[in-house]
Amino acid sequence: MKIIKRSGTEVAFDVRKIVNAIRKANAEVSEDNRLSDEQISRIAEKVTALAKDLNRAVNVEEIQDFVENQIMAERAFAVARKYITYRYTRTLVRNSNTTDAQILSLIECNNEEVKQENSNKNPTVNSVQRDYMAGEVSKDLTRRILLPRDVVEAHDEGLIHFHDADYFAQHMHNCDLVNLEDMLQNGTVISGTLIEKPHSFSTACNIATQIIAQVASSQYGGQSITLTHLAPFVQVSREKIAREVREELSGVTGVSEELIAEITEKRLRGEIRKGIQMIQYQVVTLLTTNGQAPFVTVFMYLNEARNEREKQDLALIIEETLRQRIQGVKNESGVWITPAFPKLIYVLEEDNIREGTKYWYLTQLSAKCTAKRMVPDYISEKKMLEYKVDKNGEGHCYTCMGCRSFLTPYVDENGKPKYYGRFNQGVVTINLVDVALSSGGDVEKFWKIFDERLELCYRALMCRHNRLKGTLSDAAPILWQYGALARLKKGEPIDKLLYGGYSTISLGYAGLYECTKYMTGKSHTDEEAKPFALSVMQYMNDKCKGWKAKENIDFSLYGTPLESTTYKFAKALQKRFGVIKGVTDKNYITNSYHVHVSEEIDAFTKLKFESDFQQLSPGGAISYVEVPNMQDNIPAVLSVMQFIYDNIMYAELNTKSDYCQVCGYDGEIRIVEEDGKLLWECPHCHNRDQSKMNVARRTCGYIGTQYWNQGRTQEIQDRVLHL
């Protein structure tokens, strides 16, 4: 059994330390108030059993809570007081400097919690460590100076989660839709260098990757680009190549225009191949100042094209993008594997959703890509046009900003819809499970506590907003001055972009399943329990609407893609309420509105059920179905995609894509348990060295490739197939 120290270092559990601590407190009280040796042994045994029952590495604070409770259970109150006083004194000493041990442990790669915080960051790399070091300093400043004490305490207790505190000290925002069209068509500036409009498709792709890297280093969330903004440069290259071909063949007699066009298109395909390859490999290999590859999403939407010529060129780009992703990228051993980025989103439309439609071949290719590489994910144009309706009553289809965060519809001063160049200010998430458990199952008390917690979230969100307020455009020129988000003047505040719906700010939520389970005794998939779950969702939407009217800020409800926080919330719930069957007996809580990962339900029923909740999560939502290896059953993948088109706005299929570098096994790497800890193991050669295997799993919308904490690993282990 493992223990996580306060510094984050993981060590072996040693019961003797518990015994010694109790004996020290015991020695400081009068003899008639002391515990006997038998009682001390009993306490130590009980604490050991409680720790083992959690089936995960336990932190020191939890162990000390167990010790306190067991001393009091023996009615040795004088000893308990001495023990509590000692803990308090040590806490005061530690709080005099909260960051040194954390930083030193992560530099030496001993900090287990930090190592497993982000499944796309390698904590052994210097650039990642530098980012984490800065993050520890930011968190310390945030806790001590920048946030109100009640918000910090609620975050620590797991009542809410104040996201990205490691970046809060700086004036940075969450995620955005990059206005690549403006930057490519009108020029931009990168690192003080003027970049003019490109004269070929491959150059446009090269500039796009530089923009992506710069944007990623200026904010902390995900970003999205659309291939539509690259499509006009296909025609630029076509005309350029045609001129070159004509020059080459100028002395040759009998050359027809058809031959020139044929040669041009062949070379153009090579140009497109080169450009897309550049994007894929640059994104995978880039390391931003955050110490990771950019969290970038690439959007593929045929109907976004402005004319038929551009649409056909966009189809060429989409086709090449899918073909290259199917191939994958080579790992250090030269084996083709699944990359985490860029994430791909493919829009299902009337002219690509059924056999016989013009672009059906792209949908078939997309299905093959999903079966092999887990992407693209799918947006239904049909459902999105229903859900995303602007003030003029018109529906719109557009990409999310990151893995699931959607902007709300917006019409500019000219009456035109605008999405690219907009952003999200940040997220605060409410733990719905804690609201339910705090109420003790009393419905009236539940809504009262819910109100109090939502008010706390509102104040925390206003802290995020006010931290951005007054930020000068000079803080991130690529974003605010050179077109990624705006063209503000030097020295101009970004404030006007924070109001009126131009940007959003997100109330996140997690654990709707467990909340409903505790309050009703049933899963929210049960017809008797579903109305309660929907009422919780509606209540949060109503709160966002009220805050928006009050502040002129676009508050929006967001289905939080918890990664490490799912484990944090679970531990906090177990500490506050103990282990409650079906509610807190896992080391994770369920993301957003999702059906519990262990619940037996078929893919179509799950998607149809979750569509009702997705509609009530306008600030961000995604649904998924867990499927086996589908590479030999593409018609089944296509059937799911067609169901998505008719029934739900945004969904994905989760497959597996693994490789063992020791024996060459390319099936599913399994999760096994040893000494209370979950480990990844090759079922063929039993290799457990994570540096010698490639495992890709979707954990919160993005694909993760650097492994996960124990809570998320258990969640992955518990997943059942839906197809």
The pLDDT of residue 349: 98
**Three-state DSSP class for residue 560:** coil
Q: What is the pLDDT of residue 700?
A: 65
Which of 401, 457, 537, 693 is labelled catalytic?
401
Tell me, letter by letter, the H, E, C secondary structure of 127-180. HHHHHHHHHHHHHHHHHHHHCCHHHHHHHHHCCEEECCHHHCCCCCCCCEECCH
Q: Which residues of the chain have pLDDT under 70?
A: 6-8, 88, 90-127, 287-292, 700-702, 706-707
Q: Is 694 left (phi over 0), alpha (psi -120 to 50) or beta?
A: beta
Q: Is 401 a catalytic residue?
A: yes
pLDDT at position 529:
98
Q: Which of 206, 424, 431, 506 is catalytic?
A: 424
Task: Give me the count of residues in the chain.
Answer: 723
Nearest to 245 by CA among 272, 265, 215: 265
- Annotated catalytic residue 431: no
Q: Is 174 known to be catalytic?
A: yes
* Helix (H) and strand (E) counts in the chain: 24, 23
Q: What angle do CA 713, 519, 438 make, to 5 degrees?
A: 80
What is the pLDDT, as a whole number, of residue 713? Answer: 86
Is 384 designated active site? no
Q: Is 369 a catalytic residue?
A: no
Residue 403 is among the residues annotated as catalytic for this protein: yes
Task: Tell me which of 403, 641, 682, 700 is the catalytic residue.
Answer: 403
Taken in order 704, 707, 708, 710, the sign of the CA dihedral is positive
pTM comes to: 0.86
Cα→Cα distances 24→6, 18, 83, 185, 452, Å: 21, 10, 8, 73, 41
Secondary structure (DSSP) of 369-422: HHHHHS--EEEEHHHHHHH-B-TTS-B-----SSSSBPPPP-B-TTS-B--TT-
Annotated catalytic residue within 113, 320, 563, 626: 563
Examine the residue annotation and report whether 491 is marked as an active-site residue of this protein: no
Q: What is the pLDDT of residue 51?
A: 86
pLDDT score for 54: 82
- Tens-digit pLDDT profile for residues 677-687: 889 999 999 99
660 labelled catalytic: no
- Residue the block writes with tokens 């390319």: 666
Per-residue confidence (pLDDT) for residue 119, from 0 to 100: 46
Q: What is the pLDDT at residue 351?
A: 97
Spot the catalytic one: 405, 439, 541, 611: 405
Residue 271 annotated to the active site: no
Please pick, among 158, 701, 704, 711, the residue that the annotation labels catalytic.
701
From the list 26, 118, 175, 431, the catalytic residue is: 175
Q: Mind listing the pLDDT tens digit for each residue in 113-127? A: 555 554 455 666 666
Of 387, 509, 518, 558, the catalytic one is 558
Return the amino acid letter for 576. R
Task: Give the 3-state secondary structure of residue 618.
Answer: coil
- Which two structure tokens, joined as six digits, stand for 538? 């509606």
Catalytic one among 59, 174, 352, 591?
174
